[in-house]
Amino acid sequence: MKKYQVNISPTAEDDITRRYLQIAGDAPQNALNWYMSIIEAIENLDQMPQRCPVAPEDEHIRMGIRHLIIGHYRILFVIGDDTVEVLHIRHHSMERKL
Domain boundaries, the chain: 5-91
Out of 3.40.50.620, 3.30.2310.20, 3.30.420.40, 3.30.565.10, the CATH code matching 5-91 is 3.30.2310.20
Q: What is the number of residues in the chain?
A: 98
Predicted local confidence at residue 92, as pLDDT: 81
Residue 97's Cα: distance from chain center in Å?
14
pLDDT at 95: 58
Residue-wise burial string across 18-27, b where 16 or more C-beta atoms lie within 10 A, e elsewhere: ebbeebeeee
Q: What is the pLDDT of residues 40-98, one digit of tens each?
A: 999 999 999 999 999 998 988 899 999 999 999 999 999 999 999 999 999 987 555 55
